[in-house]
Amino acid sequence: NLPTVPANCVVYQAGSDNGVYLGTDAGVYYRDDNLTDWVDYSNGLPFARVMELEINPLANRLRAATYGRSMWESDLYGLGCLDDLVLAGPLSGTQLIEANNTIISTNTITAGADITFSAGVSITLNSGFNTVLGSVFNAVMDGCTSGKVHATPISGTYEPPIVAPLAGEAGPIEGFEVSNFPNPFRNRTWVSYKLADAAPVRIEVYNMAAQRVAILVDEPHQDAGVYTVSFQASSLPAGQYIARFIAGNHVSYLKMAQLQ
């Protein structure tokens, strides 16, 4: 049941039931061994040509780069609904965000957005929650009913709305800047990070199969400042790697690529 439009990209979900995501001129489609045909997986996406797809195995998210309509992301197929959500950051576009139990939000609903929260027990709008003139916001006590996930837009390199379980990670770190040079690299790259405030710091590196391949830093306390560490990868195969930076209760990610 695929539309008669060009298919531009495909990505395989490792560790799944042979799950495959297909990017077309009419959005994203998905199929695995449990399905008899392709299913439309473009929830929340604008009607746009999808040029590139990428899976972030650490966050269990699918990213889609579109032609002229920016970059978007959503949960992977079949992850289901989280029990509790803590939300922060800007929300735009048309989105349905669901939780089985509770949603706690300090979001800003941007102009032109149409956002609906649905939870089974409670929805809490904390100090800092704001709706901009020209936006639409609804809160309903209906739990998870759609059975499908909805995409959210990404602004810049990687600044999606922060979505995490209540006991999970608190999202991108304010005042924590990270980079590496060179990137791409061969055998070794230098990872630099800036702490605005003192914090315990741990830096781990994962391959695209979500296997940890290195621990670069594991310090119970580091003062505010700029730090540089070496990632020695001469024994590792060429490919994509993700550095996971943990400062206190906050987490950020950096994508790196090793050449042949």
- Encode pLDDT of 151-184 as tens digits: 444 433 222 333 333 233 333 344 457 788 888 8
The answer to whether residue 231 scores a pLDDT higher than 90 is yes
Contact 5, 26 (CB under 8 A): yes
Confidence of residue 221 (pLDDT cuts 50, 70, 90): very high
- Do 40 and 113 lie in a common domain? no
In a domain, 30, yes or no: yes
Provide the pLDDT for residue 44: 55
Domain span at residue 201 reads 176-258
Beta strands 61-66 and 50-56 are antiparallel
Grouping H, G, I as helix, E, B as strand and the rest as coil, residue 16 is coil
* 239 within 8 A of 199, measured Cβ to Cβ: no
- 216, 229 in Cβ contact below 8 A? yes
Are 192 and 160 contained in the same domain?
no
* Rounded Cα–Cα distance for residues 94 and 214 (Å): 39
Interval 21-67: pLDDT, tens: 999 887 888 888 877 777 777 655 656 788 999 988 777 788 888 88
**pLDDT over 80 at 114, yes or no:** yes
Q: Give the highest mean pLDDT range of 7-16, 118-127, 135-144, 251-260.
A: 7-16
| Count of domains forming the chain | 3
In a domain, 169, yes or no: no
- Residue 103 and residue 153 in one domain: yes
Query: Is residue 209 predicted with pLDDT exceeding 80?
Result: no
Examine the fold and report which residue of 49, 75, 101 is the final residue of a domain before the chain moves on: 75
Choosing from 75, 102, 125, the residue where a domain stops is 75
**Dist CA 186 CA 241 (whole Å):** 13
